[in-house]
Amino acid sequence: MAILSIRIIGDPVLRTVAEPVTEFGPELAKLVSDMTETMEDVDGAGLAAPQIGVSQRVFTYRIGGVEGHIINPVLENSEEFQPDEVEGCLSIPGLAFPVRRRQTTRATGVDLNGNPVSIEAEGMLARCFQHETDHLDGILFTDRLEGEDRKTALRAIRAANYHSVTEQTTAKRATTVASSFGSFGVAE
């Protein structure tokens, strides 16, 4: 297993629609294993493959003690929205805003052995699935913001020196077991 470095906003891979997984073998198993370890290392609630530079439709999740992964996920969202909750993103360090998400979703896909997976999710897990599936379509949570929050977020992204943030993050990770983003609610 290996801890992978996380791609930061500005990296084109985060804006690329990821390809469906077609090969189910040891490489995919290693990818899922490394993504899981990386997510745990940064105390993240979820991680999508593009965030570690792999443009494939895979994400891992970790909500309320439940961990897993879904490959080639397809979501069926409810019409209703859930109360807005603050989200962050490991690829946009330091930013956190309330995001509007659907109340429930059913995620279907396959696991790393190609076996079908179908998970009914609500609340935070449904939020996580929507955030991670967005990553696979090149969408970041800041794209979901409206009004003043959107303006504030875009201004902050423009002003931030994300190259130096990446270095800080790496340094922090080396010195603490705790999350670098723990104070920002859900960091996915």
Residues at the site binding Ni ion, with contacts judged by CB under 5 A: 89, 188
Which residue, 24 or 37, is less far from Ni ion as judged by CB? Answer: 37
Q: What is the DSSP string of 37-57?
A: HHHHHTT-SEEEGGGGT--BS
Least Å distance, CB 60 to Ni ion, is: 12
Helices (H), 45-103: none
Least Å distance, CB 122 to Ni ion, is: 20
Which residue, 27 or 139, is less far from Ni ion as judged by CB? Answer: 139
Inter-CA distances, 52 with 59, 109, 119, 137, 173, Å: 11, 21, 24, 15, 16
How many other CB atoms are found less than 10 A from the CB of residue 20?
11
Q: Is 89 annotated as a binding-site member?
A: yes
Nearest residue to Ni ion by CB is: 89
Q: Is 69 annotated as a binding-site member?
A: no
Q: Is 135 annotated as a binding-site member?
A: yes
The C-alpha angle 41, 44, 50, rounded to 5 degrees, equals 95
Which residue, 17 or 118, is less far from Ni ion as judged by CB? Answer: 17
Least Å distance, CB 155 to Ni ion, is: 20
**Bridge-based pairing state of the strands 186-187 and 85-88:** parallel
Contact yes or no for 169/5 (Cβ under 8 A): no
Active site residue 40: no
Contact yes or no for 13/96 (Cβ under 8 A): no
Which residue, 34 or 188, is less far from Ni ion as judged by CB? Answer: 188
Least Å distance, CB 91 to Ni ion, is: 5
Which candidate in 37, 76, 132, 146 is catalytic? 132
Local structure of 4: helix, strand or coil: coil
Detail the residues annotated as belonging to a binding site: 89, 131, 135
Binding-site entries for Fe cation: 89, 131, 135
Give the residue numbers annotated as catalytic, written as ranges.
Answer: 132
